[in-house]
Structure 1
């Protein structure tokens, strides 16, 4: 049995596929399982023990490279292809793979690309929604947490990284990620500055900002509005190393972004601020430690962005976020 799973991008979306990956492996323990995706999302699957091979497609690759990839896929002679991405590109990769069984989300213009077009909507949480594609193939879905496996190499990196920052063993770290490349996900920097100052003054924690290449300006904006010092900036590191750093933190606070999903996979409490996206789609249901905070001005289900003032983000108060943080700190006895 040879199986191809497809989710081309982004970090959070690929992580949302990991319960499905686990489910496929349990159903077919001896199968050869490949996963087609792009960088940097491929880093999420680097150590995943349920995948035999990661096929990496360069983002915005030329047409010739895509033709080469299609030829590669056809040579693999897959028995089953499951398209979790469900856009035109992934749909055509699925169809042209030549697999006898091709599963994807039902779309009136792309249903011919699949032998099994599936009408989803049974589950709201995105990770579980992807599991609904498996049910069509007879695979029993496992409603598990999202996975991001790492090695001891990354844990060693995290230990030395924090040591070099001067963090002592008994000091508590809260990670904060005020970044996003989507304007409808960026809570105001001033609000993050107020949250960080509050945590430093009330609980004496160390604030470590989490960001990627080219995102330093988000951090600089927040720091410029703060009254207290935070841990210094640093050259951005890999996603797996970020995952290891989260294991050393007591909580993560931030926008709806890739680091939020990585923090959730590490098992630490998280508080995420949501703008346009629905929090329930990206927050584990029935979780006591992973909270998504949002405000609905009456248009979230029929969003008109960018023809709005992003009230869904701007009307989330720092007081509300602090209340949620304090509830988790109290209930989990974090500090």
Structure 2
């Protein structure tokens, strides 16, 4: 296919008068799925009569549950997709739901199977590599900036633009009440300053050292006697949280759940917090989604993941190699050389208007 023909195919107009069923594809990761919710909201606003279906992985389902803009969530359980024939039948089942529009934010193999099987007249995505172009009818180059805006900019051919929409998790009152009761049982009162801390990440280039977190907690507990830290952890991460708790020498100021909180339990606890502090991972986006101010420590990643408002900020050392967006590094100075005292000053500034 010539470049001229490719460009013409990508730019042909879309009939916006007959879009009644939409499929959005974003399989992973949890934070990325959450950052897709502004696009879902914008699609529903543009096509209020349309049903919006969402294709994702099982681990990401909790951040989409109870979302009023989504009619149906199609869930891929990777642990059970060990039979190719059954897997293809599932993708075909989705594809044959007569979607008028498919928006694929990832172009992953499982997304491409659904796109391939679908008879949708509009299959929209970001500019695909040459070997994927025949699968899609339209594509749009994303605009740089905040990650949710980056995603939403793909919707430009539909007459949609990002309007500052933040990601959202739709928590039920019962979930918020259970979180409130849990925190009260841990000794948190209205007089306390509650900070949720996410100290983990599977990538070393995005994980501030555990010892730094421990020192920060210790120093903060000396500065604010009414402070409480809720240490969050995911699968296989409790040992890290325990190590930070022990090294902090501030056990009376910390809450470490005996059992790992579910994603929605975590979100509800963050919703009750005064501030969220942590690495560049899903909980920082959850904080935005539940309207809790946040301070994120950046290593390899850029500021494009930070929601553009005074409530949500990041701190970084500012080395010439940042951001590198690499997953490995033999000497991650960007994180190791960012001392707890520096983060404490940023935290102090952030808390000026939050202390009870």
| TM norm. shorter chain > 0.5 | yes
TM-aligned CA distance change 1:95 to 1:328, over 3 Å: same
**Which residue does 2:305 correspond to in 1?**
282
**1:251–1:270 Cα contact (<8 Å) kept:** yes
**Residue range with higher mean Cα deviation, 162-171 or 297-306:** 297-306
Instruction: State whether structure 2 residue 228 is matched by structure 1 residue 206.
Output: yes
Q: Pick one of 61, 66, 83 that aligns with 1:47.
A: 66
How many residues matched?
331
> For residues 307 and 170 of structure 1, what CA distance do their matches in structure 2 show?
42
> For residues 43 and 326 of structure 2, what CA distance do their matches in structure 1 show?
38
Structure 1 segment 21-60 matched on structure 2, within 5 A: 21-59=40-78
> For residues 339 and 245 of structure 2, what CA distance do their matches in structure 1 show?
19
**Which residue does 1:269 correspond to in 2?**
293
Structure 1 segment 137-286 matched on structure 2, within 5 A: 137-204=158-225, 205-229=227-251, 230-278=254-302, 280-285=303-308
TM-aligned CA distance change 1:65 to 1:203, over 3 Å: farther
Instruction: State whether structure 2 residue 308 is matched by structure 1 residue 300.
Output: no
Secondary structure of the residue aligned to 1:46 is coil
**1:82–1:103 Cα contact (<8 Å) kept:** yes
Larger radius of gyration: 2
**Which residue does 1:329 correspond to in 2?**
351
**Which residue does 1:98 correspond to in 2?**
119
**Residue range with higher mean Cα deviation, 298-307 or 205-214:** 298-307
**Residue range with higher mean Cα deviation, 12-21 or 93-102:** 93-102
TM-aligned CA distance change 1:316 to 1:65, over 3 Å: farther
TM-score with structure 1 setting the length: 0.93
**Residue range with higher mean Cα deviation, 76-85 or 316-325:** 316-325
Listed one character per residue, the Cα deviations across residues 43-99 of structure 1 (whole Å, up to 9, x for unaligned) are 101011000011001126232332022221232010000011233432332232221
Secondary structure of the residue aligned to 1:40 is helix
1:138 is displaced (CA, Å) by 2.4
1:307 is displaced (CA, Å) by 4.8
TM-aligned CA distance change 1:58 to 1:252, over 3 Å: same
1:301 is displaced (CA, Å) by 5.0
1:20 is displaced (CA, Å) by 0.4
Listed one character per residue, the Cα deviations across residues 199-255 of structure 1 (whole Å, up to 9, x for unaligned) are 211112011101123210110121121121122432112211211111221111111
RMSD over equivalenced CA pairs, Å = 1.8
Unaligned runs of 5+ in 2: 1-19
**1:82–1:94 Cα contact (<8 Å) kept:** no
TM-aligned CA distance change 1:301 to 1:91, over 3 Å: farther
Unaligned runs of 5+ in 1: none
